[in-house]
Structure 1
Amino acid sequence: MNLLRHFFILILLLSSSSSWAISVLFINPGKESEAFWVNVSQSMAAAAQNLGMELRVVYAERDHLRMPSLLQQTLDQGPKPDYLIVVNERQMAPPLLAIAERAQIPTLLTLNDLTPEQIKQFGAPRTHFKYWLGSVFPDNQQAGYLTAKALLTRLVQTKKPGANGLYQLLAIAGDKSTPASQDRVLGLQRALKEFPNVELKQIVYGNWRRGLAAEQMNVLHDRYPDVAAVWCANDLMAFGVISSLEQRRGPRKEVFVSAINYSNDAISMIKNGRLTALSAGHFMVGAWSIVLLYDYAHGRDFGRQQGTQMQLPLLSLVSVSKAGLFAERLSPEGVQKINFTRYSKVLNPKIKQYDFSLESLLQ
C-alpha cells in the first residue's frame, strides 16, 4: 500500500512539473525590499517548487492604487495564469477580483479577507465574484492581543506606575483601512480590558513604514514624556520607534516595545531585549495558499470541506528561548527544507483537516 501511495505521489509531481505545470500569479502589494512581503513570496515559491507548480510574483511597491492596473497589464502581456492570488490591501480586492472575473481566472484572496462591509456589498466567495474561490488569512486579532498582553504583563510586573497610578501606553497601527491593521488594533483593545491600570494615550497610523513611525515617535515622546510602552502593528514600525527612542539626547528611561512579523532583525531584537514582545509566523499563509490551489486543481475543493473563508492559527509569540527555533524553521533556508507535499490532501488522502498551524512547523 505504501509503495502504491508513493507511486501515486510521484506520478502527480512529475505531471505537475511538466510543460503543463499549474501556473500561479501573485500580485504582492508590498515592496521587493520589504522583509515581510519577501517572506510571503519566498514561502509561496518554496511550496510551488515542492509541488511542481510555476509561480510568478509582481510587486506593487506599496502603491495600492496601482494594483488593478498592474494586474491588468500583467494579464495583457500574458501568458494567462491558471490561478491568481491577491490581497485585500487597503480594501483594494474588489477591483482585483473584478479583473479576475472578466479574465475567468480562479482567484484566492490571502492575508486579508474582505471586510464585513465589503461582504455585504459583494457577497461571499463564489457568489457575486464566481471566480473568487475563497480567502485564507491569519487571526490578526489574536496577534494583536498576544503581543499586547505580553507587553503589558512585562510592563506591570517590572515597572512602577505613574503618579496617578496608571501606566502610559502608545500604539502605532498600520493603516485605517486594511483588515489586518484593524483586527490587530481590536486585539490590542481586547488586551487592554485586562489591564485597567494601563492608559492608552493615543493611536497613530504609521502606514507600516519605519521612517514614518520614527518621526511619529519623536513627536509623541515629547507629547507624552512619561510613556512606558509602545505597541506596534508590525516590525518595521517597531524598529522606527526603537531608533527614535535610542537617539534621544539626555538620560533615557527604558520604554518597552512590541511588534508583529518575522524578520531576522526582529528575532535579533528579541534575543538582545530591544523588543519586549513579538508575534510571528503568518507569512506562511503564502505557502498554504499554494497548497490549497494545488489540491483544488487536482479535484480536492477546500471550499466543500473546510469552507471558503479559512482563518488559520499562524501567529505565535516568539520568546527568547524560542527565538533560535523560529530562526531555524522560518528562515528562507528553513522554509526551503519544508516538505509541503505532507500537507496536501491530494497527496495524502488520509488527511481529513488541513493542519496549517505554526506549531506543526515548529515541532
Structure 2
Amino acid sequence: MFKFLHICLLLSGVLLHTCARAESVLFLNPGSTTEAFWLSYSQFMQAAARDLGIDLQILYAQRQPELTVAQARIALQGPQRPDYLVFVNEQYVAPQILRLAHGSGVKLFMVNAALTADQQALSGSHPDRIGSLVPNDEEGGYLMMKELIRRHPPVARGEQIELLAFSGLKITPSAQLRESGMQRALAEHPQVRLRQLVNSGWNRQRAYEQAKLLLGRYPNVSLVWSANDEMAFGAMQAFAEQGKVAGKDVLFSAVNTSPAALQALIDGRLSALVGGHFTLGGWALVAIHDHDQGVDLNQYGGRDRQVPLLQLIDKAHAERMLAQGATPDYGVRFRTLSAKGRPPAYRYPFSLQTLMR
C-alpha cells in the first residue's frame, strides 16, 4: 500500500512541471474528494489559477494528517518541487511541514488554519513562509448562534430554550474557534441552555448516530448548532425520524455554502447559515501571484491576515450563490484584485461581496 502511495505521489510531483506556464503551486487539500466543502474550495482555486495563469495541482489527504505530511515530504524533498506549497494547519501538521521545508527552496503559504501562538513560538522564523489567510471562525460561530436564538419563538420568563451542539475534530483549530464563538453568544443569552456538545468529526453519519442518542436523552431540544453542513444534515435526519420538522419544531444552523446547504436555507430547513470561507484558497493564489511578481505582501494589510469571510447567508444570497456555482469562473476577475502598482493604502478586497458583484 505504501509503495503504491509513494508512486502516486511521485507521479503527482512530476505533473507539477509538465506545463511550465508560470509559477507552480501545489495545494495539499486536507479533506476528502467526497466532501462538498473541500471540492468547492478546490474548484474556486482552479478558477483563480486559470485566470491568473498559475500551474495548480491539488492533492487530497482524505482527512488523514499523516498523508498530508507524506505528500509534503515528497513535494518538498523530491526532485520535482513546486514553486509554492499551500497547506492547512489541520490537526496541527504545520510544524512538521515547516521542518520538511527547510532548505527546500519552496515558498510556503498557509490557509484556513495558520500556526497557533505556541507553534509560532516553537517554530521560530521561517523566511520561506510568505504568508497566511485565515477566516473569522470565532465570529462565524458567534453569528450563527445569535441568528438561531433570534429566530426562535419567544419563551415565557423563567423558561429555557434547550440546545444541542455538534462540533468537528477536537484538535482542529476551526472547530475550537467556532465553539468559542458559540459560547460567547450563549453568555449573552442565559435563557438558552446547552444540553450537550459532541464532537462529530465533521461527519454526517456520526452526527446522525449521536443525535439519535441525544434526542432520547433531551427530547425538548429546539435548537441545534452545527460547525459544518454535513453534521447539521446528519442531526436533521435523526430529528426527522422522530417526527420533528426542521425549521418548525427544531431550528438548525450550519457552516458552509454547499449546494445542499444553500437549498436547505432557501427551503427553510436551515434557519441560520454562515459561509464564504471556501474562497480562501482562491484569494491566496492572488497573493501568491503578486508575490511572484515582486509585490511585498507585508504591505496591503500584512502577510498574515484574518479575512472576515464567514457571514450570515440569507435566502437572496443563497439563490445567487447557487447560480454562481454553475459558472466555471464564479464571475470573478482575479487579475483585477492584484496589489501590483497599487498605492500603499490598497487592501485586497477578499470578501463575499467581491464574489457577489
Query: C-alpha separation between the residues in 2 aligned to 1:306 and 1:64?
Result: 31
For 2:128, the equivalent position in structure 1 comes to: 131
Q: Deviations over 1:275-333 (max 9, x none)?
A: 1100011110111100000000111021244223100011221112332122234x152
Q: Indicate if the aligned counterparts of 1:328 and 1:334 stay in contact, CA closer than 8 A.
A: no
For 2:162, the equivalent position in structure 1 comes to: 168
Match of 1:296 among 280, 291, 295: 291
Q: How many residues align?
A: 338
Q: Indicate if the aligned counterparts of 1:42 and 1:332 stay in contact, CA closer than 8 A.
A: no
For 1:287, the equivalent position in structure 2 comes to: 282
For 2:355, the equivalent position in structure 1 comes to: 361
2:311 is the alignment partner of 1:310: no
SS state of the match for residue 164, structure 2? Answer: strand
For 2:327, the equivalent position in structure 1 comes to: 333
For 1:152, the equivalent position in structure 2 comes to: 149
SS state of the match for residue 56, structure 1? Answer: strand
For 2:196, the equivalent position in structure 1 comes to: 202
Task: Map 1:238-277 to 2 at 5 A.
Answer: 238-248=232-242, 254-277=249-272
Query: C-alpha separation between the residues in 1 aligned to 2:278 and 2:78?
Result: 29
Task: Map 1:64-143 to 2 at 5 A.
Answer: 64-75=65-76, 79-123=80-124, 127=125, 129-143=126-140
For 2:52, the equivalent position in structure 1 comes to: 51
Q: Indicate if the aligned counterparts of 1:172 and 1:203 stay in contact, CA closer than 8 A.
A: yes
**Could you tell me which amino acid in structure 1 is paired with residue 254 of structure 2?**
A
CA separation of 1:116 and 1:250: change in aligned 2, threshold 3 A: closer
CA separation of 1:118 and 1:250: change in aligned 2, threshold 3 A: closer
Query: C-alpha separation between the residues in 2 aligned to 1:131 and 1:119?
Result: 14
Shift of 1:83: 0.4
Query: C-alpha separation between the residues in 2 aligned to 1:135 and 1:251?
Result: 41
Post-superposition, which runs of at least 4 consecutive aligned residues in structure 1 deviate over 4 A? 74-78, 249-253, 347-351
SS state of the match for residue 231, structure 1? Answer: strand
For 2:25, the equivalent position in structure 1 comes to: 24
Query: C-alpha separation between the residues in 1 aligned to 2:146 and 2:66?
Result: 35
CA separation of 1:153 and 1:53: change in aligned 2, threshold 3 A: same
Q: Indicate if the aligned counterparts of 1:318 and 1:326 stay in contact, CA closer than 8 A.
A: no
**Could you tell me which amino acid in structure 1 is paired with residue 288 of structure 2?**
L
CA separation of 1:225 and 1:100: change in aligned 2, threshold 3 A: same
Q: Please report the RMSD computed on the Cα atoms of aligned residues, expressed in angstroms.
A: 2.2
**Could you tell me which amino acid in structure 2 is paired with residue 141 of structure 1?**
E
Identity %: 37
Match of 1:234 among 225, 228, 233: 228
Q: Indicate if the aligned counterparts of 1:82 and 1:106 stay in contact, CA closer than 8 A.
A: yes
Shift of 1:74: 4.2
Q: Structure 1 residues 218-227 or 66-75, which shifts more?
A: 66-75
Query: C-alpha separation between the residues in 1 aligned to 2:312 and 2:128?
Result: 36
**Could you tell me which amino acid in structure 2 is paired with residue 258 of structure 1?**
S
SS state of the match for residue 321, structure 1? Answer: helix
Q: Indicate if the aligned counterparts of 1:259 and 1:275 stay in contact, CA closer than 8 A.
A: yes
For 1:14, the equivalent position in structure 2 comes to: none
Structure 1 gap ranges (5+): 1-17
**Could you tell me which amino acid in structure 1 is paired with residue 185 of structure 2?**
A
**Could you tell me which amino acid in structure 2 is paired with residue 333 of structure 1?**
T
**Could you tell me which amino acid in structure 1 is paired with residue 28 of structure 2?**
I
Q: Deviations over 1:219-250 (max 9, x none)?
A: 11111111111100001110111111112269
Q: Indicate if the aligned counterparts of 1:145 and 1:191 stay in contact, CA closer than 8 A.
A: yes
Q: Deviations over 1:118-166 (max 9, x none)?
A: 122224xxx1x221112111111111111110001111xx2546x9611
CA separation of 1:52 and 1:251: change in aligned 2, threshold 3 A: closer
Query: C-alpha separation between the residues in 2 aligned to 1:249 and 1:51?
Result: 50
For 1:9, the equivalent position in structure 2 comes to: none
Shift of 1:360: 2.5
Q: Structure 1 residues 50-59 or 297-306, which shifts more?
A: 297-306
For 1:181, the equivalent position in structure 2 comes to: 175
CA separation of 1:318 and 1:20: change in aligned 2, threshold 3 A: closer
SS state of the match for residue 103, structure 1? Answer: coil
SS state of the match for residue 348, structure 2? Answer: coil
**Could you tell me which amino acid in structure 2 is paired with residue 29 of structure 1?**
P
Query: C-alpha separation between the residues in 2 aligned to 1:355 and 1:307?
Result: 14
Q: Indicate if the aligned counterparts of 2:24 and 2:56 stay in contact, CA closer than 8 A.
A: yes
Q: Indicate if the aligned counterparts of 1:101 and 1:130 stay in contact, CA closer than 8 A.
A: no
Q: Indicate if the aligned counterparts of 1:295 and 1:346 stay in contact, CA closer than 8 A.
A: yes
2:218 is the alignment partner of 1:191: no
Structure 2 gap ranges (5+): 1-18
CA separation of 1:80 and 1:217: change in aligned 2, threshold 3 A: same
